[in-house]
């Protein structure tokens, strides 16, 4: 028998109720053009904003198009839409989804409206939303989207009474959304609400304390305090201040998964590889071994080096895949051919190469939770973790300094190895992308 999921509402906080009611006829800000909700993770922003957006749309319009946007369609479905559908159905709305069209149809009584889901991943995303006429648009995690996409989406809202809904965690104070929308909210007639974890009444003090222990440095200021802060100075401060806290001399006995990453050098950078062991249940990670060669070498020598590193790694822990810098397709093809010829049991794959800030945040979280370790013999990676700094010349974006003064190659290799396992590592730590 199939068990039907039911959403059980928790009490809404005062700030969440403002989100739910700001557009109502009795509200003094009813005529505003939109709302911005920013602040800490797990503060109840997305729940209140998404629910209010749809209820507003169903109360004010009929047979109109609306847009609901996330960084990707997949992340929006996972983090927002799943819970939104449960909430709407619990309040008597009929919700049907046409996944091939990325369309959600919401009905109540004789009223029906159409909610299209879009992903605002990169500059090309703006092309996807061209041509549609909208009565409103909701952006979840707007600070992760390109400005061009947001401008295109808001520009499609040409129906009388249309409004904008923005939701995000903070980034740099020079971020385009902070300077162009939050700082100009009065001129644009936008309601602004700042959230903390205390605005989510479903969180216990124990849970809030756990989240406070998950981040340090700029991530703590942004995701816990909800502040728009610049990323500057040493990236992994807790590692740099006390590396011995993370360094091991003996390999843990409960490592059950191996994963490898490989970054190719060029223009003075090094070829670097990393072998990472993951303990039972994704409890912690251990950097077991490394490969590092900075001098210029021919492709054949590099291939021999990589094959030797893989064979050495396989003797320590079984690694199903080595994730390689996807920019070097010719080198990857050569390594893949040679690995096959030598009967080495590993799949040579292209690294996912997600946003660097996400890769850094994962490592920082693991360190903060006491789940990040490295063998003492990995001296290049230890130095790289200790010396990594933010690029002070890029105030509008969170960039790691990459001018040859520090070893970011070993960090790239480490991150390529971890990326395929990021979701499970995050889940063990109790972080869910739902806000």
State the DSSP string of 270-329.
-EEEEEEEEEGGG--EEEEEEEEE-S---HHHHHHHHHHHHHHHHTTS-EEEEEE-TT-H
> What was the pLDDT predicted at 123?
75
* pLDDT > 70 fraction of the chain, expressed in percent and rounded: 96
pLDDT higher than 80, residue 192: yes
- With 0-12 / 13-18 / 19 or more C-beta atoms within 10 angstroms meaning exposed / middle / buried, residue 417 is buried
What distance in Å separates the CA atoms of residue 287 and residue 273, rounded to the nearest whole number?
Answer: 11
The pLDDT tens digits for 342-379 are 999 999 999 999 889 999 999 999 999 999 999 999 99
Higher per-residue confidence, 388 vs 404: 388
> What was the pLDDT predicted at 295?
86
Helix (H, G, I), strand (E, B) or coil at 232: coil
Half-sphere exposure of 6 (CA within 13 A, CB side): 4
Provide CATH 3.30.420.280 ranges for the chain: 237-428
The pLDDT tens digits for 273-329 are 999 999 999 999 999 999 999 988 899 999 999 999 999 999 999 999 999 999 899
The β-bridge relationship of strands 34-39 and 163-168 is: parallel
What distance in Å separates the CA atoms of residue 165 and residue 169, rounded to the nearest whole number?
Answer: 14
pLDDT higher than 80, residue 122: no
Instruction: Write out the two tokens for 341.
Output: 């010829």
> What was the pLDDT predicted at 397?
73
Residue 398: pLDDT band (50, 70, 90) is confident
The pLDDT tens digits for 206-249 are 999 988 888 888 999 999 999 999 888 899 999 999 999 999 99
Residue 434: pLDDT band (50, 70, 90) is very low
> What was the pLDDT predicted at 433?
37
Considering the four listed CATH numbers 3.50.50.60, 3.30.420.280, 1.10.3720.10, 3.40.630.30, the one that applies to the domain covering 237-428 is 3.30.420.280
> What was the pLDDT predicted at 396?
66
pTM for the full model?
0.78
124-133, 156-165, 337-346: least confident range: 124-133
What distance in Å separates the CA atoms of residue 425 and residue 412, rounded to the nearest whole number?
Answer: 18
Higher per-residue confidence, 49 vs 267: 49
Provide CATH 3.40.50.300 ranges for the chain: 14-203
> What was the pLDDT predicted at 307?
95
Arithmetic mean of pLDDT over the chain: 92
* pLDDT > 90 fraction of the chain, expressed in percent and rounded: 80
> What was the pLDDT predicted at 395?
64
Q: Are 34 and 154 in contact (CB under 8 A)?
A: no
49-53, 82-86, 418-422, 431-435: least confident range: 431-435
CATH superfamily of 14-203: P-loop containing nucleotide triphosphate hydrolases (3.40.50.300)
Residue 6: pLDDT band (50, 70, 90) is low
């Amino acid at each position: 028998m199939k068990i039907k999921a039911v959403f059980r509402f928790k009490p809404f906080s005062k700030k969440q109720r403002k989100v739910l009611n700001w557009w109502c006829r009795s509200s003094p800000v009813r005529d505003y053009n939109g709302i911005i909700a920013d602040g800490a993770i797990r503060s109840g922003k997305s729940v209140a904003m998404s629910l209010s957006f749809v209820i507003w749309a169903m109360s004010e319009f009929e047979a109109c198009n609306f847009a609901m946007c996330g960084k990707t369609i997949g992340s929006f479905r996972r983090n927002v839409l799943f819970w939104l559908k449960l909430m709407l159905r619990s309040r008597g709305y009929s919700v049907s989804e046409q996944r091939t069209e990325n369309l959600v149809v919401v009905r109540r009584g004789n009223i029906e409206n159409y909610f299209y889901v879009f992903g605002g991943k990169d500059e090309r995303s703006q092309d996807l939303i061209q041509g549609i006429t909208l009565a409103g648009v909701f952006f979840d995690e707007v600070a992760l989207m390109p400005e061009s996409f947001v401008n295109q989406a808001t520009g499609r809202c040409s129906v009388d009474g249309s409004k904008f809904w923005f939701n995000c965690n903070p980034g740099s104070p020079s971020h385009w959304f902070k300077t162009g929308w939050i700082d100009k909210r009065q001129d644009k007639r936008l309601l602004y609400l700042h959230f903390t974890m205390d605005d989510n009444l479903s969180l216990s003090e124990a849970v809030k304390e756990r989240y406070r222990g998950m981040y340090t440095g700029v991530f703590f200021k942004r995701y816990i305090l909800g502040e728009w802060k610049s990323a500057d100075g040493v990236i992994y401060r807790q590692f740099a201040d006390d590396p011995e806290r993370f360094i091991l001399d003996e390999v843990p006995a409960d490592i059950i998964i191996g994963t490898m990453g490989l970054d190719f050098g060029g223009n003075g950078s090094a070829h670097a590889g990393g072998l990472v062991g993951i303990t039972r249940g994704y409890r912690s990670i251990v950097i077991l071994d490394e490969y590092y060669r900075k001098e210029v070498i021919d492709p054949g020598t590099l291939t021999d080096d990589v094959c030797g590193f893989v064979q050495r790694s396989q003797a320590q822990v079984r690694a199903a895949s080595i994730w390689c810098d996807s920019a070097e397709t010719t080198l990857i093809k050569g390594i893949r051919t040679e690995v096959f010829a030598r009967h080495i049991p590993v799949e040579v794959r292209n690294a996912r190469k997600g946003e660097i800030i996400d890769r850094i945040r994962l490592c920082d979280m693991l360190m903060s939770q006491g789940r990040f370790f490295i063998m003492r013999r990995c001296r290049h990676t230890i130095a790289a973790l200790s010396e990594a700094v933010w690029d002070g010349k890029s105030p509008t974006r969170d960039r790691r300094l990459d001018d040859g003064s520090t070893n970011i190659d070993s960090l790239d290799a480490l991150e390529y190895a971890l990326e395929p396992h990021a979701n499970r590592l995050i889940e063990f730590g109790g972080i869910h992308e739902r806000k």
